[in-house]
Chain A
Amino acid sequence: MSGHAGHAAHAIAAVNDFVIKFANVNGSGSASANEMFAKAILRMGVPVSPRNIFPSNIQGLPTWYEVRVNERGWLGRRGGVDLMVAMNPQTWDADVKEIESGGYLFHDNSKPLPLSRLREDIRVIGMPLTAICNATYEDPRQRQLFKNIMYVGALSLLLGMDVGAIETLIAEQYRGKEKLLDANVRALHLGRDHAAGHLEPIGLQVRAADNVGERIFIDGNSAAALGCLYGGASVCAWYPITPSSSLAEAFQKYCQKYRVDPEGGGNRYAIIQAEDEIASIGILTGAGWNGARAFTATSGPGISLMNEFIGLAYFAEIPLTIIDVQRGGPSTGMPTRTQQSDVLACAYASHGDTKHVVLFPEDPSECFEFSAQALDLADRLQTPVFVLSDLDIGMNQRLCAPFTWDDAREYDRGKIMTAADLDAGRDFGRYKDVDGDGIPYRTYPGTHPERGAFFTRGTSRDPYARYSERGPDYVYNMERLLRKFDTAKALVPQPVPRQAARHAPFAAIHYGSTAPAMAEAIDVLEAQDLHLDTLRLRAFPFPESVRQFVLAHEQVFVVEQNRDAQLRTLLINEFDLDPARIVAVLHYDGTPITARFIAGEIRRRMLGANLQPRGEEEVA
């Protein structure tokens, strides 16, 4: 027997409820094997939520893949690791340290490890992966690659997984590449056979269930790209930036499949990889001005560069959609870690008095829906609309509700004045509030030979688009823009309330990728007889119901993933609320927020132990 057990008094035993983490070296080909492992569990009807924790690097630095298996369907990060697959010597110490007491360490024991570096309270499972691969394969690349699929094989046996599910996944992945397919299946079984002959059973088990249902498994960036495809975006301009690049690339892929004229007439889309984010948004501005639906995908630094244009698009009233997949800031910050730290930068982007529509999707399903909706809202409101995703949603596959589309759904192109309208003698004032909702009418360039032309500019103008620096003209326009923002309140996705089982003076507000961890935290707190109402915000501007929600509670926790409590600031600023009433619960170390953290922080505050606005220090 090559594995040697530690002296774990209480080895963790769990069925369909544990966390397994793979510690790998970036570029070693582990990603596809790890993904296959997670997907195989899904195919067994057991919900999983995997997360890539990766460096800003192509090859050599440490990377992790954390898979939470949870039959109840909690998809947030739990915190803690029950089984560590430690394949990276660089991070060995930290990885071993992270294992829960009673947990398991799986490692390659081809070379002996100093026992002094192990813990007494975990069980160690050693498998000579390198030795087996070196004995089996000649090619160094194969020796490396098949190590990954081999440990998947061994784990699948230890965890009692359905080998058929993995074989099917391998077959799907290597369809048409039979040689690779066979080699992978062989490596899988080499791993299983070794485990069967040499490794002791463990307390973690996967058992087939029926808890996945119709849900789909996709990353938020692909979902948002699909939303743009369905929402009718025909122009996309972008500049590569982590973690948003895969969104534009997915849009390209979908367009090549779904947007090519079947009669050979060409492409019904135009995608430009621009020279920078300034050009990206410039292209969007031109396209939006000219009546095409246009979007970009970017991240925080891109938003900073776009600021001047955002002000122009706001003031000149040009529809465009910006999908910001947030990462850790400021500056280059933590480009491969997650945060919700662009809230204020987007809500009030650009100089002068500005306010923008911002949507907060919670998962890939909403990334799809909100991206499509953003294109409608931009046209309806004639303004930039932001979709604020983040790395956690954008770059991780997430189990979520399937995408839906009603074929009767029409695009809302907003208030367009046509040649027929102009011929009928309708008065056209580009910046005139005709309907009282703050939204003016616009004409597309080229509409009519004699009427409807106007000069678009970033300078102040009168309701007929004539240059004017007269105070009353300027104020009329700025007030109208506010009125328009008010109109937006009823058009954006409304907040989702959840009432506690019993009357609760406490409440929590959250948004975006915090949702799954929040739902689990509330469940944990309820089990401890701590009750809270919650409100998940889905858009800015906030409708009046949000103010009512806050006022209906003595204390409201605003849970978010940034240092400065940005959404809290936005709430206080927009509703003129008493800051003492609103307590920030903040997690911003770059890892996705966990249910343990939220429940712990809120519990501490609810029990009156400590009403400090921040409490990072108690969390590892």
Chain B
Amino acid sequence: MTWITKPKLHHPTLPKNALCLTRRDYEGKISTLCAGCGHDSISAAIVQACWELSIEPHRVAKLSGIGCSSKTPDYFLGQSHGFNTVHGRMPSVLTGANLANRGLLYLGVSGDGDSASIGMGQFVHAMRRGVDMVYIVENNGVYGLTKGQFSATADQGSTSKRGVVNSDSPIDLVGLALQLGASYVARGFSGDKRQLVPLIKGAIGHRGPAFIDVISPCVAFNNHAGSTKSYEYVREHNDAVNRLDVMPPRAEIVVDYAEGESIEVVQHDGSSLRLHKLAADYDPRDRLGAANYVQQHQARGEVVTGLLYVDPAATDLHAHLGTIAAPLNTLGARELCPGKAALDRINAALR
């Protein structure tokens, strides 16, 4: 949290997007996280993705739980309404917000303590309910704000900064998201912005629950030898299955890759996801195959990154509930209240 607003000095040559906004227009307040924190790189990737897609900042609602990761919505998209909710409960608040106004873009930011421990239930149910949202977990395997306790995503056998060995099995949120019905599942690495920005852009264009697990090393408490969430470890064990380009519907699609090396997926909003396959045996449209692939590589100590699964025809909670197209928060008494005549009939039937 910070009360320091960044000075708005725009260099005249800063590039502008279709809305004539610069990247600076997508920034928030100055981060108070530790220098080198992976979370700041993710915030920068969110800024970049929204700027590139020319998203109107005020049409985004950014919500988070509690923890280092959950502080970050203050550090990007300063023109968006934000809500720093209760520890582990961002998914339910976001679900309610989404029900009230389906016209906004919902960005949920959480951490591994927030989503894999205290808020595991809420994470699970938001995914299975099909809430249309971008759900980013900034995953560092450690409780940073309370100074270095293991989180539930810490790998078994990894050691804390003080040398304690973690004996509990890790929770893999990607595996869970795949099983629970998330329709866009990706894993990124905060140190690989080139891969991360398109993953976020793809998630924004997706309709349905889009989950991105971003390995985000904690420079203060989990970046030492023996950690499996350090910059060094992840760089050495990263197995990227694909690289992604996201083309908005208005952009001309230029095919400049040989057949067989890429897969094109057109999403609901008309945007096109072009996946450059790095692993020959990987098909991101196969949910079961994805779960299998991720687990096999995990068993070998490899961190699989990229777009792991996408169902471009996915539907969302509003479709399941059959809600009207107009946001519910725009309806007044005329649309909501059956009126006196109907009530008189109800009374008559109760005698």
Q: CB distance A235 to B57 under 8 Å?
A: no
Does B154 lie at the interface of the complex (its beta carbon under 8 Å from any beta carbon of A)?
A: no
Q: Is B18 an interface residue (CB 8 A)?
A: no
Top 6 nearest A-B pairs by Cβ distance?
A: A282-B92, A286-B96, A292-B100, A445-B81, A291-B329, A283-B96
Q: Given A286-B100, A289-B97 in contact, is the A229-B3 Cβ separation under 8 Å?
A: no
Chain B residues in 8 Å Cβ range of A409: 333
Tell which of B58, B61, B326, B338 touches A290, judged by Cβ atoms closer than 8 Å. Answer: B61
Given contacts A229-B336, A267-B322, A281-B92, 19 further A-B contacts (CB under 8 A): A230-B337, A237-B96, A266-B324, A267-B321, A279-B91, A279-B121, A283-B96, A286-B63, A286-B95, A289-B96, A290-B100, A294-B96, A294-B100, A404-B340, A404-B343, A411-B333, A444-B329, A457-B1, A459-B84
With the chains together, A268 CA to B330 CA distance in Å? 10
Contact present for A292 and B328 (CB under 8 Å): yes
Can you list 14 A-B pairs with a CB-CB distance of less than 8 A?
A237-B96, A267-B322, A279-B91, A284-B96, A285-B96, A287-B96, A291-B101, A405-B340, A445-B97, A446-B61, A457-B1, A458-B84, A467-B1, A467-B74
Measured between beta carbons, the chain B residues less than 8 angstroms from A266 are 322-325
Q: Mark A223-237, 1 if CB is under 8 A from B, else 0.
A: 000100110101101
With most chain B CB atoms within 10 A of its CB, the pick from A214, A258, A282, A449 is: A282
Q: In the bound complex, do residue B57 and residue A449 qualify as a contact, i.e. CB atoms below 8 Å apart?
A: yes
Taking a contact as CB atoms closer than 8 A, the residue among B1, B328, B337 that contacts A269 in the complex is B328
Interface flag for B285 (CB, 8 Å) = no
**B346: A residues at CB distance < 8 A:** 226, 403
A309–B93 alpha-carbon span in the complex (Å): 10
A contact residues, range: 35 or more
Q: Is B350 an interface residue (CB 8 A)?
A: yes
The listed residue (A218, A281, A405, A457) touching B343 by CB distance below 8 A is A405
| A210 contacts the other chain (CB 8 A) | no
In the assembled complex, the CB of B202 is this many whole angstroms from the nearest CB of chain A, namely 23
Chain B residues, Cβ within 8 Å of A286: 63, 83, 92-100
Question: Chain A 253-273 against B: per-residue CB contact (8 Å), 1 yes, 0 no?
Answer: 000001101000111111110
Give chain B nearest CB distance to A312 CB in angstroms: 6
Instruction: Chain A residues near B84: list those with CB within 8 A.
Output: 455-459
List chain B residues, Cβ under 8 A from A283.
92-93, 95-96, 99
Q: Contacts A229-B338, A266-B324, A404-B343 given; indicate if A235 touches B100 (C-beta within 8 A).
A: yes
Residues of B within 8 A of A259 (CB): 336
CB-contacts of B127-148 with A (<8 A): 129
Shortest Cβ gap from A404 to chain B (Å) = 7
Which residue from A218, A290, A466, A467 sits with its C-beta under 8 Å from B329? A290
Asked whether, in the complex, the Cβ of A290 is within 8 Å of the Cβ of B86, the reply is no
Hey, what's the 0/1 contact readout for B269-310 against A, CB within 8 Å counting as 1? 000000000000000000000000000000000000000000
Q: Does A274 contact B (CB under 8 A)?
A: yes
Q: Are A453 and B99 in contact (CB under 8 A)?
A: no
A456–B61 alpha-carbon span in the complex (Å): 11
Residue from B89, B95, B336 with most neighbouring chain A CB atoms (10 Å): B336
Contact of B335 among A268, A402, A447, A454 (CB under 8 A): A268
Tell me the minimal C-beta distance from A192 to chain B in angstroms. Answer: 25
**How many whole Å from A306's CB to the nearest CB in chain B?**
11
B78 on interface, CB distance cutoff 8 Å: yes
Contact B335 A282, beta carbon cutoff 8 Å: no
Beta-carbon nearest neighbor of B82 in chain A: A455
- B258 beta carbon closer than 8 Å to chain A: no
A294 to B93, CA, bound (A): 12
Instruction: Tell me if B73 counts as interface (CB < 8 A to partner A).
Output: yes
Question: Whole-angstrom distance between the alpha carbons of A423 and B149 in the complex?
Answer: 48
A447 and B58 contacting across the interface, CB-CB below 8 Å? yes
Q: Check B79 against A265 for contact (C-beta < 8 Å).
A: no
CB distance from B332 to the nearest CB of A (A): 7
Q: Which residues of A contact B329 (CB under 8 A)?
A: 234, 290-292, 444
Query: Which residues on the B side are within 8 Å of A290 (C-beta)?
Result: 61, 96-97, 100-101, 104, 329
Contact B95–A272 (Cβ < 8 Å): yes
Say which size band chain B's interface belongs to.
35 or more
Expressed in whole angstroms, the minimum distance between the Cβ of B338 and any Cβ of chain A is 4
Q: Which of A69-98 contact B (CB under 8 A)?
A: none
Docked-complex contact A312 and B82, CB < 8 angstroms: no
Asked whether A282 lies within 8 Å of B336 as measured between CB atoms, the reply is: no
| B122 lies within 8 A of chain A by Cβ | yes
Residues of A within 8 A of B81 (CB): 443-446, 453-456
Binding site for B on A (CB under 8 A): 42, 212, 214-218, 226, 229-230, 232, 234-235, 237, 258-259, 261, 265-272, 274-276, 278-292, 294, 308-309, 312, 402-407, 409-411, 443-450, 453-459, 466-468
Q: Does B331 reach chain A (CB closer than 8 Å)?
A: yes
B54 at interface (Cβ–Cβ under 8 A)?
no
Q: Which residues of A contact B336 (CB under 8 A)?
A: 229, 232, 234, 259, 268, 411
CA distance A265 to B331 in the complex (A): 13
Query: Shortest CB–CB separation between residue B274 and chain A, in angstroms?
Result: 31
CA distance A132 to B281 in the complex (A): 75
Q: Is B347 close to A, CB under 8 A?
A: yes
- Taking the closest CB of chain B, its distance from the CB of A172, in whole angstroms, is 9
Q: Are B80 and A453 in contact (CB under 8 A)?
A: yes
For the complex formed, measure the closest distance between the CB of B82 and the CB atoms of chain A, giving whole angstroms: 4
Residue pair A282, B61 in contact (C-beta under 8 Å): no
Residue from A214, A217, A235 in contact with B96 in the complex, judged by beta carbons closer than 8 Å: A235
B117, CB-defined interface residue at 8 Å: no
Contacts of A214 in B (CB 8 A): 347, 351
Q: With a CB–CB cut-off of 8 A, which chain A residues contact B73?
A: 455
A266 to B346, CA, bound (A): 23
Nearest CB of A to B233, in Å: 34
Question: Is B235 interfacial (CB-CB < 8 Å)?
Answer: no
Given contacts A265-B324, A459-B1, A467-B1, contact A278 B92 (CB under 8 A): yes
Contact with A along B29-62 (1 / 0, CB 8 A): 0000000000000000000000000001111010
With beta carbons under 8 angstroms apart, the residue of B80, B101, B122, B324 that contacts A268 is: B324
Give min CB distance, B193 to chain A, whole Å: 25
Cβ-closest chain B residue relative to A397: B350
Nearest CB of A to B6, in Å: 14
A283-B92, A286-B95 in contact; A230/B338 too (CB < 8 A)?
yes
**Contacts A272-B95, A275-B121; A258 near B342 (Cβ below 8 A):** yes
